């Protein structure tokens, strides 16, 4: 039941997203029909008749990140943390993104850590920042840097680290066709970059053995 509600809510949000001024829904559906033909299909056959409409709706969910400002999620902070100034880590946040070179899914996990100065943020907000940037066409290196940069700019922590481990379907389902290969990227800022012990602590928390 909860699952159903969530999907319904996601669809509702997708419907409410602003539609770009210079492209109509009909034009977008027509573009899907062209790609179906390009693949060798007959877009008029029964099973495919409603597909363009479904794909266009799905795009509103997959690319919902274009209509949010991830930094806004971090504006509400908590300052009553009893002087807590140790590392906070959110690990294994699952996400889906889309490779901007092939428009193919990137499926992976993201780990985020930061050492706060005087304010912390609700933990779900870090996952929302990830969603805001991942629900767009991306390259993994840029996605990693954008999340770290956003947290660094808004929360102004002592340091922040972001590690992403993801599988690129443009590599596993075509091209070199290598299954089971994942790509790891990391962005370390502030104390995570300057202090090897902080960095090692973060990597230990997320289960990656770091040097130093
Ligand atoms: Zn690609």
Flag whether pLDDT at 211 surpasses 90: no
Binned at pLDDT 50, 70 and 90, residue 1 comes out as very low
Q: Which of the following CATH numbers is that of domain 75-205: 1.10.10.60, 3.40.50.10380, 3.40.50.620, 3.30.1130.10?
A: 3.30.1130.10
DSSP codes joined into one string, 83-100: T--S-EEEEEEEEEEEET
Separation between Cα atoms, residue 198 and residue 201, nearest integer Å: 5
139 secondary structure, DSSP code: -
Write the pLDDT tens digit of every residue in 31-55.
999 999 999 999 999 999 999 999 9
pLDDT average, residue stretch 183-191 = 97
Catalytic residue among 99, 111, 138, 146: 99
Is the pLDDT confidence value at 187 over 90? yes
* pLDDT for 191 beyond 60: yes
The per-residue pLDDT for range 78-113, each reduced to its tens digit, is 877 777 889 999 999 999 999 999 999 999 999 999
Alpha helices for 63-195 (secondary structure H): 123-134, 140-155, 169-172, 191-194
Ligand 1 mean position, distance from CA 50 (Å) = 27
177 counts as catalytic: no
Question: How deeply is 109 buried, as exposed, middle or buried, from its count of CB atoms within 10 A (0-12, 13-18, 19+)?
Answer: middle
Q: How far is the CA of 163 from the centre of ligand 1 (A)?
A: 19
Give 117-166 pLDDT, tens digit per residue: 988 999 899 999 999 999 999 999 999 999 999 999 999 999 999 999 99
**pLDDT score at 60:** 93
d(CA 124, CA 21): 32
Ligand 1 mean position to 174 CA, how many Å? 10
Classify domain 2-62 at the CATH class level.
Answer: mainly alpha
Active site residue 111: no
Instruction: Over range 172-177, report the average pLDDT.
Output: 88
Q: Is 100 among the catalytic positions?
A: yes
* Catalytic-labelled residue, pool 170, 177, 194, 201: 170
102 flagged as catalytic: yes
Where are the chain's structural domains? Answer: 2-62, 75-205
To the query of whether residue 101 is one of the catalytic residues in this protein, the response is yes
């Amino acid at each position: 039941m909860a699952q159903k509600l969530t999907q319904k809510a996601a669809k509702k949000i997708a419907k409410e997203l602003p539609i770009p001024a210079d492209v109509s829904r009909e034009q977008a559906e027509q573009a899907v029909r062209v790609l179906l033909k390009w693949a060798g299909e007959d877009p008029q056959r029964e099973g495919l008749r409603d597909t363009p409409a479904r794909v266009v709706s799905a795009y509103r969910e997959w690319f919902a990140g274009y209509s949010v400002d991830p930094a806004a999620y971090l504006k509400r902070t908590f300052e009553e943390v009893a002087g807590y100034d140790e590392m906070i880590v959110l690990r294994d946040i699952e996400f889906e993104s889309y490779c901007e070179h092939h428009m193919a899914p990137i499926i992976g996990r993201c780990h985020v850590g930061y050492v706060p100065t005087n304010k912390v943020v609700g933990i779900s907000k870090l996952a929302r920042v990830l969603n805001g940037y991942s629900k767009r066409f991306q390259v993994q290196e840029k996605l990693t840097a954008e999340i770290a940069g956003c947290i660094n700019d808004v929360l102004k922590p002592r340091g922040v680290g972001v590690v992403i481990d993801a599988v690129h379907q443009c590599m596993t389902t075509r091209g070199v066709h290598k299954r089971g290969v994942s790509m790891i990227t990391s962005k370390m800022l502030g104390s995570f970059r300057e202090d090897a012990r902080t960095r090692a602590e973060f990597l230990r928390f997320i289960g990656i053995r770091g040097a130093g």
